[in-house]
Amino acid sequence: MRVLICLLLTLCLSGAANAQRIKDVASIQGVRSNQLIGYGLVVGLPGTGEQNPFTEQSFRTMLANFGIRLGADVRPNVRNVAAVAVHAELPAFSKPGQTIDVTVSSVGEAKSLQGGSLLQTFLRGVNGEVYAVAQGSLVVSGFGAEGGDGSRIVVNTPTVGRIPNGAMVEREVPSGFANGDSLTLNLHYPDFTTAKSLADTINERLGAQPENGYVIATPIDAASVRVSAPRDAGQRVGFLATLENFEFTPAEAPARVVINSRTGTIVIGSEVRLLPAAITHGGLTVTISENQQVAQPNAFADGDTVVTTQSIIDVDLADSRMFKFEPGVTLDQLVRAVNEVGAAPGDLMAILEALRQAGALRGELVII
């Protein structure tokens, strides 16, 4: 009995696509978050820190900032200190005084950051300017334990931790949100049909008259739609609050088959169709096994004990079947036909690739 173990899913629902809100399919150009990064020290570790040159140098620099000077011949023991990289994401419109979460990761040989506290660390943007300052006690989900004989157990990742609300914003990132007479909506998934439908919906809902040359929304390309907006910041916020809740019908997803060769997962879009084709499905299984046998000479024979290998080769030729696809075969018919022949994930991948090579697959085949 054959069992079909491959998973078939659809990329989209059959028939017309469901209406979606503009805020769910598009974002406003220029309204974005910014990545911040910094380098600092975590102190207070229970002996799980590190002793290396750059940690020692950072420790000396920290003491010098507090007016403490160490001689060149003095090497401090910093096993309770770890050098770390600190990164965070600064959301759009963040104001000075607000707080954001930070992630702290060891950059050296520290065994764990559990129980440590991050000292004041400057977080800089891509332009080198300081936008936030981080400090606080770490929350580490992982832990590690080591025995005297060298045995060790590690759960999750003890060298990475987070500080909720651990950084305070010190500088606001300039935004062009209120500049100009228009704003641009960028689609998350570019598509010419979706861009036109989005522009048409905005024009219709806001009373534009394209036939008279009065338009509010204009598609720029497959990814962007330009929308006229009030120049006053307060009015623009109210305008967008109304605009982003408009519902419209995006274009249907393209016909696509996605194959994960590692897990055997196959995802077939509902718009995938097959041209007329005939397929023969069959398999040849060759199994080779080896048994080790010991050959022992007779008691009075002048010989040596030897080990011989006995090879067993088994060939299994599965029954071949042929099925035919008529023009415009749907996803449901394809799945039913594959189930009838008992194809495994590897067989289905080969069938789909053969159909693509033969030009009988209407849709894109993507292998990841």
pLDDT at res. 96: 94
Domain layout of the chain by residue ranges? 20-31+177-248, 34-169, 256-367
Residue of 127, 227, 137, 235 whose CA lies nearest to 187: 227
Top-confidence residue, 351 or 148:
351
Q: How confident is the model at residue 146 (pLDDT cuts 50, 70, 90)?
A: low
pLDDT at res. 234: 87
Q: Which range is most confident: 50-64, 195-209, 354-368? A: 195-209
Q: How confident is the model at residue 300 (pLDDT cuts 50, 70, 90)?
A: low
Residue of 357, 258, 360, 255 whose CA lies nearest to 6: 258
DSSP 79-143: TT-EEEEEEEEE-TT--TT-EEEEEEEE-SS-S--TT-EEEEEEEE-TTS-EEEEEEEE-B---E
The domain 20-31+177-248 having CATH identifier 2.70.98: the answer here is no
pLDDT at res. 335: 65
Q: What is the mean pLDDT of residues 25-52?
A: 89
- Lowest-pLDDT range of 49-63, 117-131, 134-148, 191-205: 134-148
Q: How confident is the model at residue 15 (pLDDT cuts 50, 70, 90)?
A: very low
pLDDT at res. 255: 74
Q: Is the pTM of this model over 0.75?
A: no
Residues 365 and 349: their CA atoms lie apart, in Å, by 10
Residue keyed to tokens 């009988």: 360
Residues 307 and 314: their CA atoms lie apart, in Å, by 23
* pLDDT, tens digit, 9 for 90 and up, residues 255-286: 777 777 676 677 777 677 666 666 665 554 44
Top-confidence residue, 162 or 108:
162
SS3 354: helix
Top-confidence residue, 114 or 346:
114
- Lowest-pLDDT range of 25-34, 147-156, 189-198: 147-156
As a whole number, the mean pLDDT across the chain is 77
